[in-house]
Amino acid sequence: MERSKVVISKEQIALQYEYMGKVRALLGQEERYALVRTYGCQQNEADSERLAGMLHEMGYSITEDEKKADLILVNTCAVREHAELKALSITGQFKHLKEKKKSLLIGICGCMVSQEHRKEDIKHKYPYVDFLFGTAMLYRMPEILYTRLVKQKRQFFLDDNSGNIAEGLPVYRMNEFKAWVSIMYGCNNFCSYCVVPYVRGRERSRDPEEILQEVKALAEQGYKEITLLGQNVNSYGKDLEEPMTFAQLLERICQVEGEFTVRFMTSHPKDATRELIDVMAQNPKIARAFHLPLQSGSNRVLQRMNRKYTTERYLELVDYMREKMPDIALTTDIIVAFPGESEEDFEGTLEMLRRVEYDNIYSFIYSKRKGTPAADYPDQIDPSVASDRFARMIACQQEISARKNKDYTGEVLQVLVEGYSKTDKTKLTGRTEKNRLVHFEGPEELIGQHAAVLIKRSETYALFGELAQL
Ligand code: SAH
Ligand code: SF4
């Protein structure tokens, strides 16, 4: 793709700022509230922060309270059917709010509605949805909203999905010490089960200078953790006029002054390099944590998934990582019951879990996605077999995670304190560099700060401790 066509022009962005001003003028002085509800991955959360940024610029106060909202925007996910059904169901519930408050505006955007069939569904079955736009149209939300307001007509916008890069939009960050920074958008990999390349378009990298400026600003504002986002960060920079590797970008980010930790996701094993692992090993600013989606432990299944690596190549990477950083935390994504997965293939996945000993896994039962090659594979797996394998896999990993968590008892860990625990309001909760969840008692002032916590006991998914006396 030609860069000049991919990067949205400054004039176009200025035009959107004009629309933001026009909406603000239309709304007048009265206080207005907007709610952005997000489904799916971190990329979607980052997009929602830009949507909220634009809404804020238009004069809306951002709220979590749907009853208070004058505008609700649902940012949807399409990666599994379950995520789509959740977004549709919540949109359905908002209908009742609109019956009570006629002026309420409801918008829907993101990956699910970037599929033509879903756009049609919304148009015909959800008449109370006021506007819809796809992922490639995010930056035009002010124009879409303004047009809806002045024309009093529903607006539906899907662009061609090759995608674009919009710089300079306002961002409303939902967290005061952890920030997302998208470094690239889209995906070129076309794994045979995955809808992402269809709904988010082709891979495109942000200019490194734009990324560095954003990181510098975040560091100056005191952000403690910066997570770089992309569907496959390892192909960062290939499409730039002056190509650079993700490892080179990381090195430059680590040179930015400030006390912050860098994380990144996601890495595709076919493109993860030793150069990247070396850069991690040399830079203490980069968290000792690596998310490396395996998907399956069977080479036959990996091939049918179009993943382009073998378990042997995957293990080589893991071994190299552990050689360079023996204490690195490893996590992965697994898909269970991909079409044609035999019992033996599945055993291969369990074998990989035991061999790698991940700190944690994110596992999913295969979900058929319209328009993807795997949806037409004839050998779809029976749901009862799928759920049985899923349960066995969780049990296998639970044992490993619990054992690994036990090892922390008696250690003092640095924890970035995120807030009060959702299940026990007397306790603070946070995460370690390796993403371990830690609960402990402490003063509120610690929220947003690092604390040293002595670990007293562990459960499968969490550690419990007390403030260490240093
Ligand atoms: N780009 C990232 C992840 C994108 S989707 C990567 O390649 O790792 C996040 C995870 O959802 C994937 O890693 C995969 O495990 C899961 N996933 C994607 N499509 C799926 C499908 N059709 N059914 C079940 N899980 C799926
Ligand atoms: Fe989907 Fe594969 Fe791209 Fe990840 S790399 S977003 S799983 S197509």
Question: Which amino acid residue places its CA nearest to atom 5 of ligand 2?
Answer: 189
**Nearest CA to 46 among 228, 297, 168, 284?**
228
Which residues is 429 bridged to in the sheet? Answer: 419, 439
Give residue limits of the domains in the chain: 6-164, 173-406, 412-467
User: Quick one: tokens of 46?
Assistant: 């980052």
Residue 187 Cα to ligand 2 middle (Å): 6
Sequence-separated (6 or more) residues with CB below 8 Å from residue 213: none
What whole-number distance in Å separates Cα of residue 93 and Cα of residue 25?
30
Q: Across the chain, how many H-helices and E-strands are there?
A: 14, 19
Is beta strand 412-420 parallel, antiparallel or unpaired with respect to 450-458?
antiparallel
Sequence-separated (6 or more) residues with CB below 8 Å from residue 197: 186, 187, 188, 189, 190
Say whether 466 sits in a helix, a strand or coil.
Answer: strand
Neighbours of 101 (CB within 10 A): 13
Domain 412-467 has CATH 3.90.550.10: no
Domain 173-406 carries which CATH code? 3.80.30.20
- Ligand nearest to the backbone CA of 372: 1
Whether residue 105 has its Cβ less than 6 Å from ligand 1: no
Question: Which amino acid residue places its CA nearest to atom 5 of ligand 1?
Answer: 79
Residue 157 Cα to ligand 2 middle (Å): 25
In angstroms, the Cα distances linking 224 to 246, 258, 428 are 21, 9, 17
- Per-residue pLDDT at 407: 87
- Per-residue pLDDT at 422: 87
Model pTM?
Answer: 0.96
Question: Which amino acid residue places its CA nearest to atom 4 of ligand 2?
Answer: 231
Unique residue bearing structure tokens 């490194």 = 208
- Per-residue pLDDT at 130: 97
What whole-number distance in Å separates Cα of residue 114 and Cα of residue 159?
9
- Per-residue pLDDT at 461: 87
| CATH among 3.40.50.12160, 3.90.190.20, 3.40.50.300, 2.40.50.140 for 6-164 | 3.40.50.12160
- Using N-to-C axis directions, what is the helix angle for 343-356 and 383-406, rounded to 10°? 10
Full pLDDT tens readout for the chain, 470 residues? 678 789 999 999 999 999 999 999 999 989 999 999 999 999 999 999 999 999 999 999 999 999 999 999 999 999 999 999 999 999 999 999 999 999 999 999 999 999 999 999 999 999 999 999 999 999 999 999 999 999 999 999 988 778 999 999 999 999 999 999 999 999 999 999 999 999 999 999 999 999 999 999 999 999 999 999 999 999 999 999 999 999 999 999 999 999 999 999 999 999 999 999 999 999 999 999 999 999 999 999 999 999 999 999 999 999 999 999 999 999 999 999 999 999 999 999 999 999 999 999 999 999 999 999 999 999 999 999 999 999 999 999 999 999 998 889 999 999 999 999 988 889 999 999 999 999 999 999 999 999 999 999 999 889 999 999 76
Please spell the DSSP secondary structure of 14-69, one letter per residue.
Answer: HHHHHHHHHHHHHH-SS-EEEEEEE-SSHHHHHHHHHHHHHHHHTTEEE-S-TTT-
